[in-house]
Chains A and B, each alone.
Chain A
Amino acid sequence: QLQLQESGPALVKPSETLSLFCTVSGGPISNGNDSWAWIRQPPGKGLEWIGTIYYSGSLHYNPSLKSRLTISVDTPNNQFSLRLTSATAADTAMYYCVRHLIAADGPYNWFDPWGQGTLVTVSS
């Protein structure tokens, strides 16, 4: 059974880079079928999709974050990562890593499974 686990600093200073890793266990990260994504939820606010790296290697970022965002896959370590530069208090959130599944027989797609999430606070 595939499991995802987020890791990274819980506290980031304003203007610094927020970096998180997601370790995938129970299966290879590069199997030619699975895509990977990050989702976050600021305190008291809704869930926000951050971005996806598709199994093809192509990237799809939330336009509101695109200029600061990098998502990449580290196949040897079975991990994928998130880098968000120039962090501000608005980036304080629970961050989730997820597998982004696309149906084999059509364009339907969904997020499953999810990691438990990691809370990142941007503060001096």
Chain B
Amino acid sequence: DIQMTQSPSSLSASVGDRVTITCRASQTIKRYLNWYQRKPGKAPKLLIYAASTLQSGVPSRFSGTGSGTDFTLTISSLQPEDFASYYCQQSFNTYSFGQGTKLEI
């Protein structure tokens, strides 16, 4: 099984901040890495797939980089609606998720 480790598990930030969340795979997953956002009471939302491709409709302040085992999700300038939980997910070998990063004010 491929284990996905996100860091940090929680993060305090302010509107306008640049924020980076890291996801590490226990073995290479090439670029089979997706990022999701989840807000309380709402359906999780796909942000980025294949490591760096922005899903249609997702603001350009979100970006993803990485390949192999190390990946990052960056929010260039935090907006109030970005305070949520973020999850990475690998689709290289079956499917597994990181434990999540809670982004708080």
Interface bits A47-59 vs B (CB < 8 Å: 1, else 0): 1110000000000
Give Cα A111–Cα B50 distance, bound, in whole angstroms. Answer: 12
Answer whether A96 and B44 are a contact pair too, CB < 8 Å, given A46-B98, A46-B99, A111-B89.
Answer: yes
0/1 per residue, B30-66, Cβ < 8 Å to A? 0110101000011111100110000100000000000
User: Quick one: closest A residue to B41, CB to CB?
Assistant: A116
- In terms of DSSP, what is the predominant structure of the interface of chain A? strand
Whether B46 pairs with A110 at a CB distance below 8 angstroms is: yes
Count residues of chain A with CB under 8 A from any CB of chain B. 20
B residues 68-104 near A (Cβ < 8 Å) are 87, 89, 91, 94-100
Per DSSP, chain B at the interface is: loop
Give every chain B residue within 8 A of A107 (Cβ-Cβ).
32
> What mask results when residues 111 to 123 of chain A are scored 1 for a CB within 8 Å of chain B, else 0?
1111111000000
Asked if A90 is at the interface (CB within 8 A of a chain B CB), the reply is no
Is B87 within 8 A of A116, CB to CB? no
